[in-house]
Amino acid sequence: MSASRTTRRVFATVVASVAVLGTAALPAAASTGGHDHGHGTGKHSTVMIGQVQHESPGRDDRTNRSLNGEWVEVKNTGKKPVNLRGYTLTDKQGNTYRFHGMTLAGHSSVKVHTGRGKNTAHDVYQNRTHHVWDKRDSATLRNDHNRILDSKSWGKKGR
């Protein structure tokens, strides 16, 4: 009977260890730290960086049209809406865009443009007068608690 008890204890220890290791192996970008950030579940973030259009296509003449030709897409892959108030999007040089009072519907996205424009549910504007996203750069999305949710890099040393 003692062998059976020992076997059960060893098995329980192994199962507990695997559970702990599995939790520790989750990527930091997937976690919201257990806080509910507007999507109702309090679990993993559904907000991430989608496509990136760095270096505006066409002539770089610093016109508003050229500035708005570069953008970073922020996607909500979940079903429930997410309040983006306080979320930030930054580049390698520290240029920061902070979301103010925007709720991103489930299964939708918003493009963050560099230049000026009227914010809508699908396009927001940084109101900058210079380009932000260079040919070798990165975009980092953080939540309202400054936790990294996602990051994308491109160019020679990036993707």
Residue 121's CATH number? 2.60.40.1260
Mean predicted confidence (pLDDT) in 26-49:
50
Q: Is the pTM of this model over 0.85?
A: no
Residue range(s) defining the domain that contains residue 112: 31-154
Split into its structural domains, the chain has a count of: 1
Which of 25-39, 40-54, 136-150 is least confident? 25-39
**Cβ–Cβ < 8 Å for 150, 98:** no
**Position 115 in a domain:** yes
Question: In this structure, which long-range contacts are made by residues 24-32, counting pairs with CB atoms below 8 Å and at least 24 apart in sequence?
Answer: 28/147, 28/148, 29/148, 29/149, 29/150, 29/151, 31/147, 32/143, 32/145, 32/147, 32/149
**Position 7 in a domain:** no
pLDDT value of residue 59: 78
pLDDT value of residue 4: 62
**Position 18 in a domain:** no
